[in-house]
Structures are given as C-alpha cells and as structure tokens.
Amino acid sequence: MERVKVGDIRLAIGSEGDGDPVLLLHGFPELAYSWRHQLPALAGAGYRAIAPDLRGYGASDRPTGVGAYGVATLVGDIVGLIDALGYDRVHLVGHDWGGGLAWATAALHPGRVRSLVIANAPHPVASAEARRDDPSQRAKSWYMLLFQFVGVAESWLSDDDFRHLREMVFENAAPGTFTQQDVGVYLDAFARDGALTAALNYYRANMPAAAWLRPPPQLPDITTPTMVIWGEADAYLGLGLLDRSVAKVAGPVRVERLGGVSHWVQQEAPDAVNALLIDWFAAAA
C-alpha cells in the first residue's frame, strides 16, 4: 500500500489496474483488505480499482479525539483523495460505513461521482429515521448505543481474544467467508494502539445517543446513477432500510438483492458482487 497526503492526514491506499477509477470504501470494523476480491477482478476488467484504509483505520493516520471523525470531515477525505489522485470523477463504491460516506459524498458532491454503488449500507438519513420510528431496526441497532461508552466498548470488542468482534463479523458470515489468514489481518490491525477507539469514534461523532431523539439533518436527493446491492440475510440492517434508502434517490436506480447473503456481502459473495460491478460500470461508461 502507498500513503497519499489528503489535507492534514495521510491515507493508505491499495490499488490495482489501469483505466477509469473505481474508489471502494470499507466499513466497520474493516479495512481496505475488505475489497481483496474486488481489486483484481476490476483491474482485470480494465479499471483502476483503489481501496483506502479510511481515516483512523489500518495504515492510515489515526487522529485523536471524537471531533476528528465527523461526517463532514470524512466526506472531505473522500473528495480530497479524489483530488490527490488526480481525478475529476470516480465510480464510488461503499459498504457499511463506507457506504454511508459514499451516499453523503454523492449527495453533497454529485459532480465528483460518475456512478454510485452501495453494498448493504443505508442512506444516512434513512438510517436515522428508522432508528427513531422503526422498532425492529432500533433493536438491530443496539450496538450503536453500546459503542458510545468510551473504554467499555473497546473492552467489549477486544476482551477474550476479540470474542465479540469475532461474533459480530467472522461468525456472522457464511462458513468459509473468512479464512484464518483473513481473521489474522483484521485482528492484527485492531490490536494496534488506538485502532478500536478511532473506529468507534465514527459512531460517537455522528450517532450520539441524543441524536436518536431528534430529527436527522437532511441531505440533497441522490441524482447520480445508483446501484444498491443488498444481502438479504443481514443481521444488522433490515430490508426496510433498503426501501427507505432507495426512496432518497431521484436519479436512475437499480436494486440487486442477494438472497441468503449476510451483511459482509462483497466478501461472502464476491463472484456475484464482482459481476454486478463490472456490468454496472460498463453500462455507465
């Protein structure tokens, strides 16, 4: 991976291939490594596939303080990275938290996003609305409140050899999704000083407990051509979030539902996801 200067931090990126740029944003608790199946497939199809470790993750800089992880700052990182790489526009792909940032980037900076692909990630406004008025989704989102407790959440995830993190990620996917080598890559990254706190600060900066009680800030409708890929067996995100999110798209939209696939969609069903991505980008050319 190389490190790229973006504003006042450096982001580590992995990339493969040449051609039109595809920027892939990972979620929590993940890394650029989450796109290990997509980078070579997209490169082979004639694209430059680029996957950063987001701010605070992996080999990227890890600022201290909750305030360094607000959505406006995180979106600024994405636009800044596009600039630093020398591109006007990219195909933007995001999963989980990376999907939330991709939604926000496309809403606020539509001229920088050639096409948008979302994988199991609700639109930020749809997510906030569901936490307020959908009891089923509120129950699925219980961990977001736990993550507000500084020190407690870090210990809960990391104690007993990361038992709860293992349950949330590796044991929540279909058998065979993650090899022991894969598990080692993730756990080694989150065992580093400050790594779990930085990742949890995404929730603390943007989803504090008080935010569950007030109407969410609004975003402009999405006008960028958008494809949403959704694993239907997601334990954390109900299908109602898919419908709410699609309703935020005013431009062309395509929805692909993958039956029996968990939240970790691009790692659990890489062949299906890769085929959808390549087909989508070819149509968006």
What pLDDT score does 25 carry?
A: 98
CB-based contact 274:49 (threshold 8 Å): no
The answer to whether residue 109 is catalytic is: no
Q: 24: part of which helix (H) or strand (E)?
A: strand 20-25
Catalytic site residue from 96, 186, 202, 236: 96
What pLDDT score does 213 carry?
A: 85
Catalytic site residue from 47, 202, 203, 236: 203
Number of structural domains, the chain? 1
pLDDT per residue, tens digit, the chain (285 aa), is 899 999 999 999 999 999 999 999 999 999 999 999 999 999 999 999 999 999 999 999 999 999 999 999 999 999 999 999 999 999 999 999 999 999 999 999 999 999 999 999 999 999 999 998 899 999 999 999 999 999 999 999 999 999 999 999 999 999 999 999 999 999 999 999 999 999 999 999 999 988 888 888 899 999 999 999 999 999 999 999 999 999 999 999 999 999 999 999 999 999 999 999 999 999 987
Catalytic site residue from 26, 91, 123, 263: 263
Cα–Cα nearest to 42, from 20, 12, 26: 20
Q: 163: part of which helix (H) or strand (E)?
A: helix 152-168
Domain that holds residue 114: 2-284
CB-based contact 108:75 (threshold 8 Å): yes
Residues facing 257 on adjacent strands: 230
The answer to whether residue 263 is catalytic is: yes
What pLDDT score does 214 carry?
A: 86
CATH number of the domain bearing residue 222: 3.40.50.1820
What pLDDT score does 111 carry?
A: 97
Sheet containing strand 226-231, edge to edge, reads 2-6, 9-16, 47-52, 20-25, 90-95, 113-119, 226-231, 253-258
The answer to whether residue 61 is catalytic is: no
